[in-house]
């Protein structure tokens, strides 16, 4: 018979929840991260350009998805083409 350590289970699930929570940004934090205004962020969100998650009346954004969005749109000249 195997025993289960409930404390270690709770600690690991709390840790993963805290990690997931830290990876989510509010609208203000996401706008700062993207270096755009909150109004522009809301416009892009409502047009489906930026993925978001709804929590009540608040939007939340995953950092990993915002990074992916930034990396998918290269800017500037590329020398040596």
In the chain, what are the domain boundaries? 22-71
d(CA 60, CA 53): 5
In this predicted model, what pLDDT tens digit does every residue of 23-63 receive, in sequence order?
Answer: 899 999 999 999 999 999 999 999 999 999 999 999 999 99
Q: Does domain 22-71 have CATH number 1.10.10?
A: yes
The pLDDT assigned to 60 comes to 97
The pLDDT assigned to 73 comes to 80
- Give the pTM: 0.66
Dihedral over Cα of 70, 73, 79, 81: its sign: positive
In this predicted model, what pLDDT tens digit does every residue of 3-25 receive, in sequence order?
Answer: 444 444 445 455 555 555 578 99
Q: Which strands, in side-by-side order, build the sheet including 53-55?
A: 24-25, 58-62, 53-55
Q: Of residues 2 and 75, which shows the higher confidence score?
A: 75
């Amino acid at each position: 018979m195997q025993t289960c350590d409930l404390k270690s289970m709770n600690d690991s699930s709390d840790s993963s929840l805290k990690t997931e929570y830290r990876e989510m940004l509010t609208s203000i934090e996401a706008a700062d991260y993207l270096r755009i205004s909150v109004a522009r962020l809301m416009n892009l969100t409502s047009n489906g350009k930026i993925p978001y998650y709804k929590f009540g009346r608040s939007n939340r954004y995953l950092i990993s998805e915002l990074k992916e969005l930034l990396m998918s749109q290269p800017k500037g000249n590329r020398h040596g083409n």
